Structures are given as C-alpha cells and as structure tokens.
Amino acid sequence: MRNVRWLIVSAAIGFGLAAAAVVASAAGAESPASPGVEAEAAGIGSPFPIITVISDHVNAVVAYDEGRNRSLVVWEGPSNSMGAACVEADGSITRYYVVGSGIPSNPDVVYSPQNDQYLIVYDTGPGGQIEGQFIVGTCCIGCGGAPFVISDDRPNTENGPAVAYNHHDAHRDYLVVWTDTDNTDYGIYARQVLSFTQKPNPSFPITYTSGAYNYEPDVAYNLNRNEYLVVYTHDDGGPTDPDIYGTLVKNAGGVGVLAENVIDSSPNAQEHASVSAYRLNCETPYLVAFSDEWNDPSLDVRAYLVLTTGVPVQLVNIDTVPGRTETLVDLAASEPLGGHTAVWMAHNGNDFDVYWRRIESEGQLGPILPVAAVYGKDERYPSVAGGSPAPMAVWQEEDAGGEYDVYGRLLWLHVYLPLVLRD
C-alpha cells in the first residue's frame, strides 16, 4: 500500500531446504540498467499492459486470489475516476470495472478467500471521507458492489486509507485505517468492516497526539497471533524530521490497541512506511520498510524486522546506493514462497525505474532485480501482492505521448537443488 499523494520527489538527484540455493534467476544484481538497455532478469515474467487507453492511469495497487491464481488491480483514472481489472496470471484481463465515487484517490485493496471478495478502499478527495467497494472474486458481470462510506462517524477530513483482512475463522473481517485530520493535528483512525458493508463498531483511534502529525498508514494482519500491526509516519510538530512508528491492534472492533512503538527515529527523515506479516516466523513476523534520509539525503530504502511485541530488532538495508534516490517501497508476504517481497522505485539519473528484492523471514537478502527499468522511460509507484507461484507487481509507466499507463509483471523465483540431490 502506498499513499503517493503525500510524496514530492525532487528531480535533483545528486533461500527452502538448508542445502538448496534459492535465487532469482537474473543476469544483473545491484546496479541500475545501462542507458538504452532494458534490464531483464531471466525467469521473471514479461511485463504486460493492464490499462493503456488515452489519458493518465496512475497509483495502481494489487491484491491476489491464490485459489484462482488471479489478481485485482485498481488505479486512479482520468476525470476523477477509478478503475479496476481482474488480471489472470498470463496477463489477460477477465473483466474491467468502474469503481469509486466523488473524486476517488489513494486506493488500496485486499482479497478475502473465505468471503471470496475484494475490498477496495479509497478517499473521496480534498475534504472527503473514506469509502469502500466490494467486488466478488468470480469477477463476473455485475459483480461490483456499490460504494459505501466507512468513516461516516468521523467529522473531519479523512484520507490515505489502507486495508487488511482477518483470516481467523471467528472473525473474517477487515480493518481499514486512514489519516484523520481536523486541520490542526493528524491522527490515525481505524474501523472494522464486515462482509458486504456492515460496520458493527465505531471508528477508533490508533494514535492521536495533540500538536503532532501522524499520516501515511499501512496495516498487515498476522493470523498466528490474530493481530494487526499498523505503521505510519510520525512528526512531533518540531523540525521536519518525521519518524516511523507502529502500533499493534488485537481486535478490529477497537478493543486491544496496544502500546505505540518507535520503529525508526534516526536523524533526518523516515517516511512512506509499508508493512507485511509472515506468520510462519513466530519471533519476528513483521517487516516494516520505509524511505530513509539517515545515511543519504537522496533517500534509501531500509526496513526492520519487528518482534511480536511490536519492537524492531534487526535493520535490513533493501537498497542504499549512495547519491541515488530509492523510495516508495511496498511489501508483501507469501507463505508458499517464504518471507517477504519488496518493490520500490529508484532514480537512474534520468527517470525512475522499478526494482524488487526477496527478503527471507530472518532478514537474508536476495539480489536486487529490475521489474521495469527502461532508460528514458519513467516507471514509478509500484505495488506488490504476495502470490503463488509468483508475486504480482504493478506500476505506472510513461508512454510515448507522455501519459501514464498501468503495467504488471509476475516476479518468478527459481529454486535450484544442489547437484548431489539431482541424481
């Protein structure tokens, strides 16, 4: 999940069996693509267009239906519109939908296998509120529900939502989080949503401190502990030096909001947090990634493995090329593959490219690989959903007319067994 409208990017850019080697089949690793050459990685699926009609289509997000090996991609379109598409693993489109109301922006989306439905959340633009819309997993004609208001009990301006689904058989509900502002302070609020629009409990605060700014939330659910980790940018109202904070939530109804923890408060700015939960790691199930100015004012992408108590314990450097801007990371966890997948955008001196990397559950790093890296073509704002056999990444890509289209790509991994196991 990414709330990209908070970001102004400056153009002044100054793994498995213990014996098995799990690698992404790739020719290159840490360096960006050479001028005029598209950086490809053997074994990664080819990019495919999702929406390329006239006008801009931006800020795409994606959710994955493992049972059908299908994804739902949502984006902001022209003339205050929002669209969605059911995308098969081969890149073919099953169905397009028009979604949202008002001036829909900043979407996020999640899939529920038990309810067999996607929940799309978004804000309705300046001075607006948080809304949602369900799409049935079969992606049939007429499977798109009507928009409904989620934050209707909040009197302020709400924006930048994120959503997670509770897989526990006793719950099967959604937690929607957002930035809530009265034009003086910014707090993070949340609300439980049940299947097909029911909201049994009022909105509740995750964090709210007078005189402080809390914004850009993301949320992940951990089935092993039946809890959520909500992460966000925190600025105490002093010098521009925001940090990354997190709060564990035990119940989508608002009962059991636990103590707030600092994820990273290093000097300079940390912003744009994303979180994923890999429940099979019972000690450090959470990975929290963010943009970081601590060591490089051009921005790096770093992360922390986080304990079940919400306390960070291990720094993970995802992409830290000196003097190059790396930012706007998105995360997804995948149980079949193990660990986490990160996608982000990096500046190559001329425009932005999109890269990805596997982070194993204990922090081991796979190589940095290109998702979309054509020199002279701007590719940015990636999102990723964990999938099996491969995660799905989406991004916006500039076309020959200077407008943005939405593309997707499967991020395949290859597993190579040692020679001794092949006989």
Rounded distance, CA 329 to CA 339, Å? 16
DSSP code at position 40: -
Rounded distance, CA 60 to CA 108, Å? 9
DSSP code at position 351: S
Closest CA to 288 of 267, 264, 269: 264
Q: Which residue has the tokens 């509770």?
A: 166
Q: Mean pLDDT highest for which of 39-53, 230-244, 277-291? A: 277-291
Cis preceding linkage at 107, omega within 30: no
Rounded distance, CA 414 to CA 422, Å? 15
Chain centroid, CA 105 distance in Å: 15
CA angle centred on 337, ends 270 and 369, rounded to 5°:
55
* pLDDT range class, residue 24, cuts 50, 70, 90: very low
Overall average pLDDT of the 279-305 stretch: 94
Structure tokens at 13: 């850019």
Higher pLDDT: 46 or 59? It is 59
Overall average pLDDT of the 287-301 stretch: 93
Overall average pLDDT of the 179-203 stretch: 89
Higher pLDDT: 413 or 394? It is 394
Q: For position 11, what pLDDT does the model report?
A: 30
173 phi and psi angles, rounded to 5 deg: -125, 180
Query: What ranges do the domains of the chain cover?
Result: 4-421
Q: For position 211, what pLDDT does the model report?
A: 80
Structure tokens at 335: 């149980």
What pairs with residue 319 in β-bridges? 301
Mean pLDDT over all residues of the chain?
86
Q: For position 182, what pLDDT does the model report?
A: 73
* pLDDT range class, residue 117, cuts 50, 70, 90: very high
Q: What pLDDT digit, counting tens, does each position of 99-112 carry?
A: 999 899 999 999 99
pLDDT at 261 exceeding the cut of 90: yes
Q: Which three-class secondary structure state does DSSP give residue 413?
A: coil
283 membership: H or E segment, kind and range: none
Q: What pLDDT digit, counting tens, does each position of 349-407 carry?
A: 899 999 999 999 999 999 999 999 998 899 999 999 998 778 999 999 999 999 999 99
Q: Does domain 4-421 have CATH number 3.30.70.270?
A: no
Q: For position 196, what pLDDT does the model report?
A: 76
Rounded distance, CA 233 to CA 248, Å? 15
pLDDT at 6 exceeding the cut of 50: no
Q: For position 259, what pLDDT does the model report?
A: 84
Rounded distance, CA 270 to CA 60, Å? 23
In DSSP notation, 197-219 reads: G---S--EEEE--TT-EEEEEEE
Q: C-alpha distances in angstroms, 143 versus 28, 33, 83, 135, 274?
A: 43, 41, 14, 6, 30
pLDDT at 37 exceeding the cut of 70: no
Closest CA to 192 of 177, 210, 182: 177
Rounded distance, CA 177 to CA 186, Å? 13
Q: For position 183, what pLDDT does the model report?
A: 64
Closest CA to 45 of 21, 19, 71, 82: 71
Taking the CB of residue 253, how many other CB atoms lie within 10 A of it?
17
pLDDT at 39 exceeding the cut of 60: no
Rounded distance, CA 151 to CA 194, Å? 14
Structure tokens at 26: 């790739």
Overall average pLDDT of the 201-206 stretch: 93
Closest CA to 198 of 134, 265, 294, 123: 134
Rounded distance, CA 215 to CA 143, Å? 33
Residues 117, 136 contacting (CB under 8 angstroms): yes
Percent pLDDT > 90 in the chain is 69
